[in-house]
A and B are shown apart, each in its own frame.
Chain A
Amino acid sequence: MKVFVEFIGYLARKIGRGWLWVEVCEGDDLRDLFLKRLSSWLEVDIARSLLDAFIRGEVRIAVNGRIVWDLDLKLSDGDRILLFPLAAGGCSLSIGS
């Protein structure tokens, strides 16, 4: 199954693209998305930095328009996952630098 991942504002600039479709496996949760799936598309340290920035509260994640706080959230086919800096546009993060 596939999910749609979008990067907004500063994240898009830093990563060099605004979105991508990512293949995930049945039973994957958000943590898996960062640690296993995104790392095959992005540099490993970028995927890890994104996860850390989320944990520090500097990056927010919305799944199908709802803010999520919990990395255990299970993914479903076609989920739309948005990653944005707290109030998009910010450049205080050190993702992949």
Chain B
Amino acid sequence: MSRRLYGYAGRILRLDLTRRVAVKSETGYDLARDFIGARGFGAKILWDEVKPGIDPLCPENKMVLSFSPLTGTSAQSFHRLFAMFKSPLTDGYFRSTGGGFFAAEVKFAGYDAIIIEGRAEKPVYVWICDDDVEFRDADHVWGATVDGAAEILREETDRNARMLVIGPAGERLVRIACLVTEDYRTPGRGGGGAVWGSKNLKAIVVKGSGRPELFDPDLFKELVEEQVDVYRRSPLFDAFHRLGTNSVVYEFYTLGHNPTYNFKNVELENVEVWRPEVLERYIVKHYGCFACMIACGKKWKLTMGPYAGLVWDFPEYETHWSFGSTCGVTNLEAIAYANMLCDRYGLDTISAGAIVAFAMELYEKGIITERETDGLRLRWGDGDVVVELVRKIALREGFGDILAEGVARAAEIIGRGAERYAMHSKGLELPAYDPRAAKAHGLSYATSNIGGSHMIGWNKYEILGRPERVDPLSTEGKGLLAKIVQDQVAAYEAAGWCAFAELVQTVGYGSVDRTMGWIGSILYAATGVEEFRNPGYLWIIGERVYNIERAFNVRDGFSRRDDWLPERFLKTPFPRQPARGQVFELDRLLDDYYSARGWDSRTGIPTRVRLEELGLGYVADELEKIGRL
């Protein structure tokens, strides 16, 4: 068999910002076979190139933007952008992902990944037009919001160019700053915007004219037709298309998710406005990412109240929660406005809202007063306060300067017991599910290599009861269940797939095995890599990616003690239905999880045997050399 790689663009682009040099190298066959692409490439390249112990905001940190061999093809929903870096929020490995058109455009320009390294002496942006790569001064757009900068950069390059930009929050090294595409899709979590800010990188603008060449175009076409058919038949398709992730806000609230009041979880008054029939009244337009018929994006129009006139991207499920439920706010207009500010300033909406909720609880408890908050009364439920705090965080203004550090660091700065109300894991603010109401999902919060993320192990078994029913409140077998889902997600993300779309297809098939089989076939049809045909091999890749990410953190000093959740979940019984009386049994669940993973349960560190089984003997060697194994 030829060792030629189809589906891939065949090159990796390295941007050395310090020297303003761009270097292109070949995408290695072994790298492709062992890690597929996207999240897999990022995990491997970071392991190889980022030294332990470095400050995430120093020039030695790197960011890998990487894509899949399916990106830029007609396969549906495989066109996501993955950003991997050491996070200024968690001080550990991070993977962040967003949709839009940027990833496909980079593939068209001829690259499977972009490695960003060093630090520019002064603000720059990078203009990539196929083979030509230019480092250009960005003084004139430094300080501009995402939309303002994007408009100017489009004029200077190509009206149809795609781009990834940071806003004022990233420039100010706000630790929850994110990257934003020109169509406001965001690899949102973990502070990637601050990493770019520290490198004086304002934007990457790209235009490409190539197309990936497929190994077996006929088989590929057949498989895409099958996918389109399964999407159409899936009972989830219409819901996602009609209302996007917002379709589940009310439902999830009633199932004990969508936590309220900084996870105190008392009933939220006026929660009926979360009902889908109410939310869909705001929609004026549907839109989607490159080659995705689900088109789950929505534009909202506000016609009432002080924010009337706004037409902007709707707040997604998580954003709806972060500026809504967890702050006690049911004013949809204020939630939509805060969401718009985040897109323009370049802030992660989940962390931003979670930080505001943290501040509101400190105010309620009397730990902070108007003296510290620049005179603001941080009362639960006040949407205008949410909007004002978001602005202050993004610009590091007054009290916002402390909150811009994220809840973990802000709690340390504030002191006086504030850490009890900082709802995070490994420094990443927790999102819109309560670990007490879904135990395997909660276990993924605690053990995730990127901290409190809902996406690393979104547990469809517990949350939807699909493709198989599992009691979310039981602890039985949850270590294994958390591992299975984490490995599944890692495999899908190495293939560049969108998690929502995966859900639509898996529920359509009614089986994870069929989904994995289909992915294996389409990866083979695209690339010609024989190993991909075997779904068992994809599971190994998922587990390999998960373990190398873990090893990155272990090398940086992480261990079992970091697989942690705030005391509130461990000691305070969940107060409302359906999980009333539940706590999170952390130690028991961790033991179960490490045993399912084949890791040392005392330390939470992968064993040499497990690493070698996964083809990661070189990782074991390095961990042993530095005394971590």
Asked whether A96 is an interface residue with its Cβ less than 8 Å from the other chain, the reply is no
Q: Which of B238, B246, B579 contacts A91 (CB 8 A)?
A: B238
Interface residues of A in 17-73 (CB under 8 A from B): 18, 57-58, 60, 62, 64-67, 69
**Within the assembled complex, what's the spacing in Å between the Cα atoms of A12 and B276?**
10
For the complex formed, measure the closest distance between the CB of B110 and the CB atoms of chain A, giving whole angstroms: 38
The reply to whether A58 and B235 form a contact with Cβ atoms under 8 Å apart is yes
Asked whether A8 is an interface residue with its Cβ less than 8 Å from the other chain, the reply is yes
The reply to whether B251 and A8 form a contact with Cβ atoms under 8 Å apart is yes
Contacts of A82 on B, CB cut-off 8 Å? 251, 254
Q: Which of A58, A66, A91 contacts B242 (CB 8 A)?
A: A91
Q: Number of contacting residues on B, CB 8 A? A: 30
For the complex formed, measure the closest distance between the CB of B186 and the CB atoms of chain A, giving whole angstroms: 23
Contacts of A92 on B, CB cut-off 8 Å? 235, 237-238
**Within the assembled complex, what's the spacing in Å between the Cα atoms of A85 and B277?**
13
Q: Which of A8, A58, A62, A86 contacts B275 (CB 8 A)?
A: A8
Contacts of A62 on B, CB cut-off 8 Å? 251, 254-255, 578
Contacts of B250 on A, CB cut-off 8 Å? 8, 88
Q: Which of A57, A69, A80 contacts B235 (CB 8 A)?
A: A57
The reply to whether A13 and B239 form a contact with Cβ atoms under 8 Å apart is no
If over half of A's interface residues share one DSSP class (helix, strand or loop), that class is named, otherwise mixed; here it is loop
Contacts of A57 on B, CB cut-off 8 Å? 235
The reply to whether A89 and B254 form a contact with Cβ atoms under 8 Å apart is no
Q: Which of B235, B275, B578 contacts A66 (CB 8 A)?
A: B578
**Within the assembled complex, what's the spacing in Å between the Cα atoms of A91 and B236?**
10
Contacts of B466 on A, CB cut-off 8 Å? 86
Q: Which of B236, B272, B277, B576 contacts A87 (CB 8 A)?
A: B236
Asked whether B601 is an interface residue with its Cβ less than 8 Å from the other chain, the reply is no
For the complex formed, measure the closest distance between the CB of A14 and the CB atoms of chain B, giving whole angstroms: 11
Contacts of B247 on A, CB cut-off 8 Å? 9, 87-90
Q: Which of B239, B255, B579 contacts A67 (CB 8 A)?
A: B255
Asked whether B248 is an interface residue with its Cβ less than 8 Å from the other chain, the reply is yes
Q: Which of A66, A80, A89 contacts B239 (CB 8 A)?
A: A89
Asked whether B122 is an interface residue with its Cβ less than 8 Å from the other chain, the reply is no
Name the residue on A nearest B579 (C-beta): A65
**Within the assembled complex, what's the spacing in Å between the Cα atoms of A66 and B246?**
20
Q: Mark B556-590, 1 if CB is under 8 A from A, else 0.
A: 00000000000000000000111100000000000
Contacts of B469 on A, CB cut-off 8 Å? 67, 69
The reply to whether A12 and B275 form a contact with Cβ atoms under 8 Å apart is yes
Interface residues of B in 202-249 (CB under 8 A from A): 235-240, 242-243, 246-248
**Within the assembled complex, what's the spacing in Å between the Cα atoms of A82 and B253?**
12
**Within the assembled complex, what's the spacing in Å between the Cα atoms of A18 and B272?**
10
Asked whether B256 is an interface residue with its Cβ less than 8 Å from the other chain, the reply is yes
Given A86-B239, A89-B247: A67 in contact with B465 (beta carbons within 8 A) = yes
**Within the assembled complex, what's the spacing in Å between the Cα atoms of A9 and B68?**
36
**Within the assembled complex, what's the spacing in Å between the Cα atoms of A8 and B246?**
13
**Within the assembled complex, what's the spacing in Å between the Cα atoms of A13 and B280?**
12
The reply to whether A13 and B277 form a contact with Cβ atoms under 8 Å apart is yes
Contacts of B256 on A, CB cut-off 8 Å? 65
Asked whether B507 is an interface residue with its Cβ less than 8 Å from the other chain, the reply is yes
Name the residue on A nearest B500 (C-beta): A87
For the complex formed, measure the closest distance between the CB of B22 and the CB atoms of chain A, giving whole angstroms: 44
Given A65-B254, A88-B239: A8 in contact with B577 (beta carbons within 8 A) = no
Q: 4 tightest A-B contacts by CB?
A: A65-B578, A89-B247, A87-B239, A89-B243
8 A-B pairs with CB atoms under 8 Å apart are A8-B276, A12-B275, A18-B277, A65-B256, A85-B235, A87-B235, A89-B246, A90-B237
A residues contacting B by CB (< 8 A) are 8-10, 12-13, 18, 57-58, 60, 62, 64-67, 69, 80, 82, 84-92
Contacts A86-B239, A88-B250, A90-B238 aside, 17 further interface pairs with beta carbons under 8 A come to A8-B276, A9-B239, A9-B247, A10-B276, A13-B277, A18-B275, A18-B277, A82-B254, A85-B239, A86-B235, A88-B247, A88-B276, A89-B238, A90-B235, A90-B239, A90-B242, A92-B237
